[in-house]
Structure 1
Amino acid sequence: MAPKNAQDTSERWHEAPRDPEPSDLGYEMDDWEVIRARKDDRGHLMFLPEEEDMLREEAFIVADSRSVCDVMDRI
Structure 2
Amino acid sequence: MAPKNAQDATEGWQEVPRDPEPSDLGYEMDDWEVIRARKNDRGHLMFLPEQEDMLREEAFIVADACSVCDVIDRI
- TM class by shorter-chain length? 0.7 to 0.9
Q: 1:71: Cα distance to partner? A: 2.2
Structure-1 residue corresponding to 2:48: 48
* 61 and 27 in structure 1: CA distance in 2 versus 1, 3 angstrom threshold: same
Question: What is the CA–CA distance in structure 2 between the aligned matches of 1:28 and 1:43, rounded to whole Å?
Answer: 28
Structure-2 residue corresponding to 1:5: 4
Question: What is the CA–CA distance in structure 2 between the aligned matches of 1:71 and 1:57, rounded to whole Å?
Answer: 27
Q: Which one has a larger percent strand, Structure 1 or Structure 2?
A: 2
- CA displacement 1:14-37 (0-9 Å, x = unmatched): 111111111100111111011111
Question: What is the CA–CA distance in structure 2 between the aligned matches of 1:8 and 1:27, rounded to whole Å?
Answer: 22
Unaligned runs of 5+ in 1: none
- Percent identity (aligned): 83
Q: Which moved more, 1:8-17 or 1:59-68?
A: 8-17
Question: What is the CA–CA distance in structure 2 between the aligned matches of 1:13 and 1:23, rounded to whole Å?
Answer: 16
Instruction: Name the Cα RMSD after superposition.
Output: 2.1
Matched, 1:61 2:66: no
Count of residue correspondences = 71
Give 2:4's aligned amino acid: N
Question: What is the CA–CA distance in structure 2 between the aligned matches of 1:73 and 1:50, rounded to whole Å?
Answer: 24
Question: What is the CA–CA distance in structure 1 between the aligned matches of 2:70 and 2:35, rounded to whole Å?
Answer: 15
Three-state SS of the structure 2 residue aligned to 1:37 is strand
